[in-house]
Amino acid sequence: MVVGSVALDTVKTPLGRGKEVLGGSATYFSISASFFNPVNLVAVVGSDFPSRHLQTLKKQGVDLGGLLVEKGKTFRWDGEYGWDFADPKTLSTCLNVFSKFNPQIPREYKKSKYLFLANIDPQIQEKVLKQVNPKLVACDTMNYWIQNKRNHLLRLLNKVDIFLLNESELRLLTHQNSIVKAAKELTRLGPEIVIVKKGEHGSLLFCDRYMFSIPAFLLESVVDPTGAGDTFAGGVIGYLAQCNKFTPLNFKRALVYGAVMATFAVEDFSVKRLLAINRRDINRRFKQFQALSCF
Amino acid sequence: MVVGSVALDTVKTPLGRGKEVLGGSATYFSISASFFNPVNLVAVVGSDFPSRHLQTLKKQGVDLGGLLVEKGKTFRWDGEYGWDFADPKTLSTCLNVFSKFNPQIPREYKKSKYLFLANIDPQIQEKVLKQVNPKLVACDTMNYWIQNKRNHLLRLLNKVDIFLLNESELRLLTHQNSIVKAAKELTRLGPEIVIVKKGEHGSLLFCDRYMFSIPAFLLESVVDPTGAGDTFAGGVIGYLAQCNKFTPLNFKRALVYGAVMATFAVEDFSVKRLLAINRRDINRRFKQFQALSCF
């Protein structure tokens, strides 16, 4: 189960433009995770949300029983990337129906064993946690919540098993310069596992007993990095749910599957590329990753 | 054989200070490579160069038959690192005797099979090449030469087998944003192999037939990053010379040994830590690297 946003994104990159395309953290996560395990989606859209997008998600095996359609407009984000494809410039954010998002977990979702709390207000993430009791809880966040709802976020982290964040969020949260020290500090705040997303530089995993360092997959060209982090999380949690057993090797491979899914996501606008691949493509890229980095 | 600088560095980092400590590209390279193979050093120092440093290098198995001692002062560099341990601020550079460095390769060095041209003027690097005929030539450079001696550098690259550079130098040289495209472009300019140093984010290797991506080793704290790149090169070329056989696996492991050596170098000022380790420490860290990143 994933709780997060489903949005319509307008994205400009040096290589093109996507206008009101399917986006949102829960969208990227669920399409990515759907290659490994069935996904239950909890989110809200407006009455203007194109029904073809609903069909797309359903066809991918994403259950929409938790997707509320409310009167009003769907969450819209408008952003632009420069040549470095780093942090985009946000041109506008219209929360619309998402501003009153109050997730109610359908009864049939309560048996979900794996939960991903995508980047939303930590108070809402906590409200979700009160309604369920999964085997594993993973969560994401963003600079805004670290700066403006720090205490709520810290309280939430106490109830989370896996915390995913990027380097700048890690530094902002811990005021530590050393990534290793910062991540270890975070594991003492609740999450057994801290995963640090480094974008084109790979990812790191920290827990009490071990650390992993996964290099970047080498892509010749990136078209649109939107959703890479949520797609990564979808691969990580989807693969863990598929294994349903928490060994060090499974965690390591989960990171690699996360990276593999993210490489597909950035090869085209919106979820276009993710919808065009199959499990064989994923396995092929996993093997390429092995050839690239194992010694 | 390595041709480069031997210097006295004054380095300030947030964790301390080293005053007139042993430094220079050829110093770091030769001490690092000496763990894998005997090293012939070609460089110049002034008459003020402390003889204890000569003893240090000799004890490490570095041949000093190519080290000129000239009347005058040794090359001095004074720099300062911030908390991010990224590019240091150079406070002063006094080339002194190094400004007239005109390397003459001793006859007994001419049978060296592996040559590393550390970061010096590409015209001097070319002069060295004219005196020898090694099995493998590797070279390093820096922003200054890319900007001010571009044509000389490009001519040199045509005669080089392995070219090592960092990300910003790669972008400066190729005007390409994609690292993959940039590195591939460079392999068409001469060097069969391009190695991109990404500091704390690991390293990449590109050639016609394959690519490698090595993640960073996770260090809890860095004391002084000076010389990390040359120490890395010493591990890479030293290990290749030890293998003396160019298989993909050897190249991959060479990158890892390079990274391993660099992690030692940054754990203390100058070459202190490098002088305190043995081959068993290196092998132990190599295995830790494997556990950290192979899946």
Is B211 within 8 Å of chain A by CB?
Answer: yes
Q: Whole-structure pTM over 0.95, yes or no?
A: no
A with B: how many residue pairs have Cβ under 8 Å apart? 87
What rounded mean pLDDT belongs to chain A? Answer: 96
* Residues of chain A with C-beta less than 8 angstroms from the C-beta of B202: 201-202, 213, 215
Check pLDDT > 90 for residue A245. Answer: yes
User: What fold characterizes domain B2-293?
Assistant: UDP-N-acetylmuramoyl-L-alanine:D-glutamate ligase (3.40.1190)
DSSP secondary structure string, A143-168? HHHHHHSHHHHHHHHTT-SEEEEEHH
> Residue B17: pLDDT above 90?
yes
* Angle formed by the axes of helices B150-157 and B122-131, nearest 10°: 30
pLDDT above 70 coverage of chain B, percent: 100
Confidence (pLDDT) at A289 = 95
Q: Sort strands A114-117 and A203-206 into parallel, antiparallel or unpaired.
A: unpaired
Amino acid at site B142: M
Amino acid at A56: T
Residue in A83, A177, A217 closest to B177 by CB: A83
Q: What is the pLDDT of residue A119?
A: 96
Bridge partners for A62 per DSSP: A39
Give the model's pLDDT for residue A162. 98
The verdict on a CB contact (< 8 Å) between B295 and A294 is yes
Q: Contacts of residue A254 in chain B, CB cutoff 8 Å? A: none
Over residues A246-280, the pLDDT tens digits come to: 999 999 999 999 999 999 999 999 999 999 999 99
Chain B contact for A213 (CB, 8 A cutoff):
yes
pLDDT at position A227, please?
97
pLDDT tens sequence across B47-94: 999 999 999 999 999 999 999 999 999 999 999 999 888 889 999 999
- The pLDDT value recorded for residue A84 is 82
Q: Calculate how close chain A gets to B96, using CA atoms only, in Å.
A: 37
Query: Phi/psi of residue B170, each to 5°?
Result: -60, -45
Instruction: Give A134-165 pLDDT, tens digit per residue.
Output: 999 999 999 999 999 999 999 999 999 999 99
Please state the domain extents for chain B: 2-293
What pLDDT sits at residue A139? 98
pLDDT at A87 over 90: no
In percent, how much of chain B has pLDDT > 90? 94
Residues of B in contact with A252 (CB under 8 A): 295
Q: Residue B138: what pLDDT?
A: 98
Q: How far is CA A49 from CA A27, A120, A152, A226, in A?
A: 13, 20, 31, 19
Which residue of B213, B290, B291 is in closest CB contact with A218?
Answer: B213
Residues in Cβ contact with A196 at an 8 Å cutoff, skipping those fewer than 6 apart = A165, A166, A167, A170, A179, A183, A203, A204, A205, A206
Name the pLDDT band for B289 (thresholds 50, 70, 90).
very high
Interface of A with B in 82-111 (CB under 8 A): 83-84
Judged against a pLDDT cut of 90, whether residue B177 lies above it is answered with no
Q: What is the pLDDT of residue A37?
A: 97
pLDDT at A28 over 90: yes
pLDDT of residue B229: 97
